[in-house]
Each structure stands twice: as C-alpha cells, then as structure tokens.
Amino acid sequence: MQTPNFDQLLDATCHFGHLKRKWNPAMAPYIFMERNGIHIIDLYKTQAKLEEAAVALKNIAKEGKKVLFVATKKQAKQVVCDRATSVGMPYVIERWPGGMLTNFPTIRKAVKKMAAIDKMSTDGTFDNMSKRERLQITRQRAKLEKNLGSIADLNRLPSALFVVDVLKEHIAVAEANRLGIPVFGIVDTNSNPDNVDFVIPANDDASKSIDIILNTVCEAIKEGLEERKIEKIDNKDEAAEGEAEAKPRRARVRRSRVAEENKEEAAPAEEVKTEEPKAEEPKAEEPKAEEPKAEEPKAEEPKAEEPKAEEPKAEEPKVEEPKAEEPKAE
C-alpha cells in the first residue's frame, strides 16, 4: 500500500477548499492558509490522515467485514462505482434511502422483493399475467435496481461507512453515528469533522481529488482481502497437517493398547505360578520376626535363619516316635 506523496496530492488539486465566508471553524486545524478569499488545506495533514484511514480500512477488510461507500454527487458517482466494484464492496450513488441503516430490515425486504420479481420472470409466472401487470412489475423492478441494486449482497449492517461529501450525506452520517458505525469521510473546509471518526481533509468537489483518495483506500482494502485469503489457505494447510499427524498417532495408540492387553492376559498365568511358593514363604518368616527381636540384634542375615525355622518342624515327628514304642513294651 503506497499513499500518495505531497506532489501527487497537489497535482490532483486536493488542497483547494471553499470560500472563506463558507468555512466551518471546526476545520481550522486542517487549513494551511487563505489565498484570494479561498482556504488552502494542509496537504501534509491530508497525507497523514489518509494513511491512517487506509490502515484502518485494511484491518476491517482483513476481518471479512463490509465497507459501504456513499457518494451521490455527480463528480463522484462513476469513480465510486468503479472503485467499489473492483474490491467487491457495496455502494450508494443514487439518492440515499432514508433509514437504510436504522431501518435495515425494511430495506432488506425491498431487496428480497426484487429477487422475487427475478424469480417470477424465470419460472413462467409472467406468462400468466396480463401485459399491463407485466409492465408495472418491470417498472418496479427497474426502480428497485436503480436505488438498491448495488447493495443486493449486503445481508447485514456494514462495519464501516465511507462518505465522499460529509455535508451532502449528513443523513447517512447521522444514521451511522446513531448505530456506532465508524465513518470515514473526505471533509472539505465547509463541513463539520466532529461527526466523522476518520477525517480526510481534502477537496471533495474535484473528480481528480476524489479519484486519488479512493484509489489509495481501495488498494488498502484489496491488500486486506488478499491477506485474508492467504490466512485461510494457511489455516487449511495446518488443519490438514494436524489431521495427517493425528491419524498415525491413533493407530500407534491402538497397537500399543492391543499389545498391553495381550501382556495382561499372559501375565495372570505367570502370577498364579509365582504366587504358590510365595504363599509358603510368609509362614516360614513368621518366626523370623520373633527371633531377631528377642535373641540377636543382628538382623543382617535373614536368609540364614530359614533353616532354623525348618528344624523345629522336623523335630515334631521325632517326638511322636517314642509314643508309638510305649504300647509295644506293655
């Protein structure tokens, strides 16, 4: 995005204001001097404000939002139509329909009616009508197309409003201020900049001046739309890569789960075998806990005490043998 320099703005006659007697005192900060009863606009401030507005519009377009261009002046109609169409934005170059923003649902009904008439012409409904009825509907369709054809794709309120002549389009500015919609405007020395959020002080009567400013603004919007497309493509690629990485991970997790289940099934058989000798060991260890506490402080060789636990078990049957010999003596 390249903003025009001082010489380009000067060649486009952006510096010419209105007569001194028609000026608005609120525009004093943007006026450089007076010559021959005409105010001269400070082009350095114009350049700075134009760059600021272009950056803001670029961010709005990058978010996928709509900017509504409004210019009903004869000098600006064709320029606005061409520039807005090039970036796919809605515009109003005929009479501003009152309540277009504050009464937006009603405007949408009129647009839907225009679409319904188009459908009637294609599905054969016109063939069943009289010539007079067809003529009336066709005239109504032409009138709707003239006033609302450029906003047929505007399904919701715009996120910003770009006005060429703030004084002439004061109704549109008032509606946008009421709804909190930011207003970008080319403000001349006879206009009030207080109602405009992004002021571009410049000559709003010359077609060259309007063209150079709209060109800069539309280039910024175009860059924002291109960046949005690039981000969408990048997000799709990242999502595809993430899905591709997630699929093999899931397969590995499933294989590892199957292997763990097989191990768990084989483990119980081994545990049963290992548990049988373990059941005898605690029986032999019971006397071990009593002997080291009472007899010896050295508990370093618990394994050597295991045969001691077996000896008393072997002596018990020896005590039974003499009992068996006593009845033989009788």
Position 150 confidence tier, pLDDT thresholds 50, 70, 90: confident
pLDDT of residue 267: 59
What 184-188 contacts at long range (C-beta under 8 Å, 24+ apart), as own/partner pairs, is 184/53, 184/56, 184/57, 184/67, 184/160, 184/217, 186/210, 186/213, 187/27, 187/30, 188/17, 188/18, 188/27
> Could you give the CA distance from residue 236 to residue 227 in angstroms, rounded to a whole number?
14
Q: Which two tokens stand for residue 322?
A: 């003499």
How much is the average pLDDT of 286-304? 45
Crossing angle, helix 104-122 and helix 131-148, to 10 degrees?
140
Alpha carbons within 13 A on the beta-carbon side of 251: 5
DSSP codes, 159-191: SEEEES-TTTTHHHHHHHHHHT--EEEEE-TTS
Is 109 a residue whose pLDDT tops 70? Answer: yes
Residue 49's closest CA among 22, 20, 14? 14
Residue 17's closest CA among 163, 164, 190, 166? 190
> Could you give the CA distance from residue 80 to residue 83 in angstroms, rounded to a whole number?
5
Q: Which two tokens stand for residue 50?
A: 């134009």
Task: State the Cα torsion 232-238-243-248 to the nearest 10°.
Answer: 160
Position 270 confidence tier, pLDDT thresholds 50, 70, 90: low
Lowest mean pLDDT among 116-130, 150-164, 241-255, 266-280: 266-280
Please report the sign of the dihedral spanned by the C-alpha atoms of residue 169, residue 171, residue 174, residue 176.
negative
How much is the average pLDDT of 301-309? 44
Is 246 a residue whose pLDDT tops 90? Answer: no
pLDDT of residue 79: 92
Q: Which CA distances in Å does 147 have to 36, 92, 287?
A: 41, 8, 106
CA 316: distance to chain centroid? 88
Annotated domain spans of the chain: 6-235
Is 234 a residue whose pLDDT tops 70? Answer: yes
> Is 137 strand, coil or helix?
helix
Return all residues near 108 (Cβ < 8 A) that are at least 6 apart.
155
The average confidence (pLDDT) of the chain is: 80
Q: What is the pTM of this model?
A: 0.69
Q: Which fold has domain 6-235?
A: Rossmann fold (3.40.50)
Is 117 a residue whose pLDDT tops 70? Answer: yes
Classify residue 53 by burial, with Cβ atoms within 10 Å: 0-12, 13-18, 19+.
Answer: buried
pLDDT of residue 302: 43
pLDDT of residue 240: 76
Is 324 a residue whose pLDDT tops 70? Answer: no
Q: Please, are residues 184 and 56 in contact by the beta-carbon 8 Å criterion?
A: yes
Q: What is the pLDDT of residues 16-67, one digit of tens each?
A: 998 988 898 999 999 988 888 899 999 999 999 999 999 999 999 999 899 9
